[in-house]
Structure 1
């Protein structure tokens, strides 16, 4: 499954005072599956305290690019959903994100701060097989 959100506004409504969920829970169980979630030029705001994502599938893949993240993001950023083995197989990353929640200093060691070349595949419409389902203007 391919999913991309461009220019969206994610508004989180979570209880203050403790971590109360995650923005994504991508389920990818096959390492050869090319799917994942990509968020490009988005804004994350709201209340409470949440993870960017949790590892629903063993090969979960989520990338945020050029996204503003408010202070509702847990410094760890990502959660292995209580299964440490997934830390070796999931792919979680961010690229040129901004805002207090985008600070990577406290991120889990198994997440990625993407370089320009690492981000390129996620910036292309080919990542979501757009040619097979998006109509040309």
Structure 2
């Protein structure tokens, strides 16, 4: 999603912006947020949680306010998912983008690693993300 504003609302139970349910490497699924803003009134929001074994979520060129939990990501109480999740960040900025305290499953991606996630080829986005012809 490009140019999206994600509003985090205060919640005592915790906030998760994403919960991705990919189970194996062959599944062509995932979430990619490019040139977005994460802001709101809440605090401690996780960018994502590992709903299933191999979640794939990327935030690139995103401005993150202080609503983001410093850990950034949750293994959903399944520590083995720290090794199978792809929770990636690339050139994000703002108070919530500090990666110093990020969870084990978090990855700072390189330009080559993020490239597939910021193109329309990701999840065949060119087939459905573009506006319909007029």
Are residues 131 and 73 of structure 1, via their aligned partners in 2, closer, same or farther at CA, if it must alter by over 3 Å? closer
> In the TM superposition, what is the alpha-carbon distance from 1:132 to its structure 2 partner?
3.3
The aligned counterpart of 1:70 is 65
Report runs of 4+ in structure 1 exceeding 2 Å deviation: 130-137
- Residue 39 (structure 1) aligned with residue 33 (structure 2): yes
Question: Does residue 1:10 correspond to 2:20, yes or no?
Answer: no
Could you tell me which runs of 5 or more consecutive residues in structure 2 were left unpaired when the two chains were aligned.
Answer: none
Mark the runs of 5 or more structure 1 residues left unpaired by the alignment: none
Say which of 49, 57, 61 aligns to 2:56. Answer: 61
Between Structure 1 and Structure 2, the one with more strand by share is 1
List per-residue Cα deviations over 1:3-31 (Å, max 9, x = no partner).
Answer: xx11000111023xx67121100111122
Please give the secondary structure, in 2, of the residue aligned with 1:39: strand
d(CA) in 1 for partners of 2:58, 2:100: 17
> CA shift at 1:103, angstroms?
0.5
Cα deviation code 1:32-64 (max 9, x no counterpart): 112100000000001222111000011111000
Aligned length: 131
Is it true that 1:83 corresponds to 2:78 in the alignment? yes
CA distance in 2, matches of 1:38, 1:14: 24
